[in-house]
Amino acid sequence: MGIGGSIIDPNFIEDYLGMRVESVDEVEVIRRMTEGIYDEKEYEKAMAWVKEHCIEGFDKNPEEMQRSREVKDADWEFVVKMMLIIKDLMNGNPNLPEGREEEMVGHNAIAAGFQGQRQWTDFYPNCDFPEAMLNTSFDWNGAREPYILATENDVLNGLGMLFMKLLTNRAQMFADVRTCWSGESVKRATGYDIEGKAKEANGFIHLINSGACCLDANGEAKDENGNAVMKPWYEVNEADQKAIMANTTWNYADLGYFRGGGYSSRFVTRAEMPMTMIRLNLVKGLGPVVQIAEGWSVALPDEVTDTLWKRTDYTWPCTWFVPRITGKGAFTSAYDVMNSWGANHGAISYGHIGADVITLCSMLRIPVCMHNVEEDKIFRPAVWNAFGQDPEGADYRACQNFGPQFKKV
């Protein structure tokens, strides 16, 4: 991939996080598919569930480019097998065919990524279905702990998702930080005057990606008071699962992006929910830093959503995000937040958990270079006070002084 986040730095992951990296060539997915190295019974169960619960959406491709029903059905079978195989690679599976004891073991992976574009997706169906469903808090076996599977193998975004999953036990969003719409640009494009939190920030950020986002993010699960929520995975019930699936469609891949076909999840987040977006960046000569933006998803009128959504890709999942504005630095407006962001990807969690992320980062010796968390909510080790009275500078100096937790001598 031509993005920095896809370049894996094993030294960083070993020294700062105490984990090893294992890389598997994606031809392994094809080998297992070709040789039948997957659980046939689970595959049959998965396909039956997909046919019952996965609503196939419209095909945006020109009619002369659209694939036949036979090809589309074969793509469904392909992407379901991909999901099973990626899960087996991460976890292992004792139910693989006899004689496949090595494959049964798996890699004991706490997180993974799939580097599809473009060599894979120019030839094979894309990985949107496996990514979206593995990142979601349920599948054909019911509620289960969500996986972390980063699209485009953006390891830095995947690690941000992992941090927040471990803090919250909730499914995590992977999204492009794609576009900032100011109040003026929304008015010009749609005639609509933005309101509420969006008006306070003079705009909002379009979070959208080709279908790798967890389905929980459509906000159709509800708490006991009927409020939209992304629940901890062990609280997701059958009603939540049905509502989430009923408000998600699977649209055939845009063949301009994905010549190999496949399916992208499509939904719009229609509810206001508290959210925290973070980004882990690696800076040469400095090391890792984290950015944090607390805010909310916001709902727009359908006609406004449709107009703005079509400016990117109308077949991809859509969330409008408003960061909480403080009037200072990067948090002067929604545009300033996006303009200060370190990459075109963000990891997004339900809830305002920025203070927890800051504490975690201090434990990992990773300085936080940008945040909008209230000072009275921040907790760092008391020794940080010895490094000066400016909190950000002290954070950098303390992290540099103590160094990575797991660094080898």
Nearest to 250 by CA among 58, 9, 1, 97: 58
d(CA 80, CA 47) in angstroms, rounded, equals 7
Virtual torsion, Cα 307, 310, 311, 317, nearest 10 deg: 110
Say which of 176, 294, 336, 356 is annotated catalytic. 176
Amino acid at position 80, single letter: V
Catalytic residue chosen out of the listed positions 139, 152, 294, 356: 152
Contact 209, 132 (CB under 8 A): no
Interior/surface letters 280-306, b for 16+ CB within 10 angstroms, e for the rest: bbbeeeebbbbbbbbbbbbbbeeebbe
Measured distance CA(159)–CA(19) in Å, rounded: 11
CB 214 within 8 A of CB 248: no
Q: How far is CA 156 from the centre of its chain?
A: 11
> In this structure, which amino acid lies at residue 311?
R
| Cα–Cα distance, 144 to 232 (Å, whole number) | 10
Cβ atoms of 260 and 121 closer than 8 Å? yes
C-alpha dist (Å) from residue 310 to 111, 174, 207, 212, 263: 32, 20, 13, 18, 18
In the block, tokens 């706490």 appear at: 110
Distance CA 49, CA 137 (A): 15
Q: Which of 370, 368, 397, 369 is nearest to 383 (CA)?
A: 397
The dihedral through the CA atoms of 246, 86, 343, 406 has a sign that is positive
Is 152 annotated in the active site? yes
Q: How far, in Å, CA of 171 to CA of 217, rounded?
A: 8
* Residue 35 neighbours by CB distance under 10 Å: 11
Question: How many Å separate Cα 383 from the centre of its chain?
Answer: 34
d(CA 56, CA 352): 34
The first and second tokens of residue 225, run together, are 């008071």
Catalytic annotation, residues? 152, 176
